[in-house]
Amino acid sequence: MERGTVLSRRCLVISPLLVSAIESAGLNINTVTSRVLAALAEDVHGEDLTSKATIKENQISTARFTTRKNGVVAGTLVAAAVLEECGISQYEILKKDGSEVNAGDVLITCSGDTRAILLAERTALNFLSHLSGIATLTHTWVTSIAETSAKIRDTRKTTPGLRELEKYAVRMGGGTNHRMTLTDGALIKDNHIAAAGSVSAAITRVREEFPHIEIEVEVDNLEQLKEALRTGVDMVLLDNMSIEETKAAVEIAANSATKLESSGGLTLENAHAYAATGVHFLAVGSLTHSAPALDIGLDF
């Protein structure tokens, strides 16, 4: 298989069935294909020397992607795109993204050229393990606040180039997404407030410039919260407030339409206590910036 020729293509050509599955999952096909091509290009600069030396040309094998730990799966469609790019068209996804799995469960089976399977192995596992790790951690957070009305939400603390895939993995774990990009809404943070002069001044300027977008503002104390509420802002982010301060914030905002989001100082140990205060969201950056990979392997 001449990888130099394949990887020089400008776009990944995958089956219509897989394209449809990727788009139905809410992923941009161009994002998936570009990320797959870039990842494979990191691995291949000519040919796989080890496989060429140890495996006969045209040898055929069957392999399984198996999870070695319990978790939640995400990234099977991306792994499938890797397989197809490497020439493996015979595969079956046995566990759909968002499925809870146990150690020993087979996620994907595939058959084809042995060298091609090994060529796809590491890249497919990198996507699958990383995204499943995010989905698994998100599920743990979601489970920790299950008896409350709050939702777990991600942030923009994502791996450069992988934001759409990582936020997809958050959804597969039961979480919700915050902004995908800076154009999806306004989040006025402490530096914006300092530059504008005050909470209300920053909100006013955003409304004047962009009157129809949703505005969220970060506050450090209850006085700033009251100032924000007087403007009728859509959402307030309570930054590094204690549980007692958060309870007070919920009481202050009780008669307004403004939603509240807790951020900073959140852990799995205190998540339920924060969620039980009545806030609408817990913003958890660790979902994407600190999730450990789910242990998944490929074996013939």
CA angle, 221 then 222 then 225, to 5° = 95
239 belongs to the catalytic site: yes
226 belongs to the catalytic site: no
251 belongs to the catalytic site: no
Rounded Cα gap, residues 280 and 285, in angstroms: 16
Active-site residue identified among 157, 207, 226, 259: 157
Residue (of 178, 191, 182, 183) closest to 287 by Cα position? 178
Residue (of 71, 24, 267) closest to 152 by Cα position? 267
Residue (of 42, 19, 43, 41) closest to 31 by Cα position? 19
Q: Token pair for residue 37?
A: 């091509």
Q: Token pair for residue 200?
A: 């209300």
122 belongs to the catalytic site: yes
Residue (of 185, 195, 250) closest to 222 by Cα position? 250
DSSP conformational letter for 111? E
Active-site residue identified among 113, 227, 239, 261: 239
Q: Token pair for residue 185?
A: 């809404």
Active-site residue identified among 64, 69, 96, 122: 122
Strand partners, 36: none
Active-site residue identified among 84, 85, 218, 261: 218
Active-site residue identified among 9, 68, 189, 230: 189
Rounded Cα gap, residues 146 and 55, in angstroms: 50
Task: Kindly report the backbone phi and psi dihedral angles of residue 117, in degrees, each rounded to the nearest multiple of 5, phi listed first.
Answer: -60, -45
DSSP conformational letter for 159? -
Rounded Cα gap, residues 300 and 115, in angstroms: 12
151 belongs to the catalytic site: no
Residue (of 193, 266, 271, 280) closest to 234 by Cα position? 280
Catalytic residues, which ones? 122, 157, 189, 218, 239
